[in-house]
């Protein structure tokens, strides 16, 4: 929990309580349904929660926006982002139903009422559009973009930033690691890339990246 406060200083008391509760909840559920590797569960806040919040460090989602988390697994990045942005709606989707049971239990335990879940593959979702899609180490960028693009509105947002205003468009934001040159080439997209080592100083983030593909 301390590692979150190192980088984010303005959590409300409710947010601090929600983040603090994640450790025991995930350890308990992970013993029943293994969604986080045994070696990583003790590093939950660094390798899963803070990693997810890299998106919050770079993007300020507007109030009322609607975001889909594709292949959410145990709820990352969706659950930490939903805590961070209580006035944004998050729809967490996974093709493995038992993983969603963990998310439903976690959201009920901490009172996370801006999260919905759906047992589905992203490509099977119809008749609903989102402002952004997020994802964390799920699939190659070519596949992610193929799934996300039909689900995205083409919408521009204006947000306050550094005393001025920044305009950015709906799109896909995904967290990835390693050498991404070939993967990006094969996707046919031209994403903006952010090195997470510029956001967080821990060694774990040295080979981690965030890609943003506007709709």
Q: pLDDT (tens digit, 9 = 90+) per residue, 150-179?
A: 999 988 887 766 666 677 889 999 999 999
pLDDT attached to residue 162: 62
pLDDT at 6 over 80: yes
| Average of per-residue pLDDT values in the chain | 92
Q: How many residues does the chain have?
A: 215
The structure's pTM equals 0.94
pLDDT digits (tens, 9 = 90+) for 125-156: 988 999 999 999 889 999 999 999 999 998 88
Has 123 been labeled as part of a binding site? yes
Helix axes 13-32, 97-110, angle to 10 degrees: 150
| Range 33-40 average pLDDT | 78
Distance from C-alpha of 215 to C-alpha of 53, rounded to nearest angstrom: 22
Give pLDDT tens digits for 89-122: 999 999 999 999 999 999 999 999 999 999 999 9
Is the predicted pLDDT of residue 24 greater than 90, yes or no?
Answer: yes
Q: Measured between alpha carbons, how far is 144 from 69 in angstroms, rounded to an integer?
A: 11
* Vertex 185 angle, CA 174 and 148, to 5°: 35
CA 196 – CA 22 distance, rounded (Å): 23
pLDDT tens track for 49-103:
999 999 999 998 989 999 999 999 999 999 999 999 999 999 999 999 999 999 9
Rg (CA), the chain: 16
Predicted pLDDT of residue 3: 95
**183 annotated as ligand-binding:** no
Q: Is 76 part of any known ligand binding site?
A: yes
Q: Which residues pair with 67 in a beta bridge?
A: 90, 132
Domain ranges of the chain: 2-214
| CATH class given for the domain over 2-214 | alpha beta
What is the spatial distance between Cα 215 and Cα 212, in angstroms, rounded to a whole number?
10
């Amino acid at each position: 929990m301390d590692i979150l406060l190192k980088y984010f200083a303005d959590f409300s008391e409710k947010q601090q309580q929600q983040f603090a509760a994640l450790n025991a909840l995930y350890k308990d559920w992970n013993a029943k349904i293994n969604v986080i590797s045994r070696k990583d569960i003790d590093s939950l806040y660094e390798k899963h929660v803070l990693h997810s919040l890299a998106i919050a460090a770079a993007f300020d989602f507007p109030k009322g926006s609607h975001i889909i988390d594709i292949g959410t697994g145990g709820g990352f990045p969706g659950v930490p982002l939903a805590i961070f942005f209580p006035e944004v709606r998050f729809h967490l989707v996974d093709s493995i139903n038992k993983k969603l049971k963990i998310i439903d239990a976690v959201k009920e335990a901490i009172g996370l009422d801006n999260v919905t879940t759906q047992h589905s593959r992203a490509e099977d979702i119809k008749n609903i559009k989102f402002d952004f899609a997020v994802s964390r180490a799920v699939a190659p960028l070519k596949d992610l973009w193929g799934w996300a693009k039909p689900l995205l509105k083409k919408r521009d947002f204006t947000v306050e930033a550094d005393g001025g205003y920044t305009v950015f468009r709906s799109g896909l934001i995904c967290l990835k690691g390693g050498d991404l040159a070939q993967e990006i080439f094969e996707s046919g997209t031209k994403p903006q890339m952010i090195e997470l080592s510029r956001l967080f100083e821990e060694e774990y983030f040295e080979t981690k990246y965030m890609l943003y593909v506007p709709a």
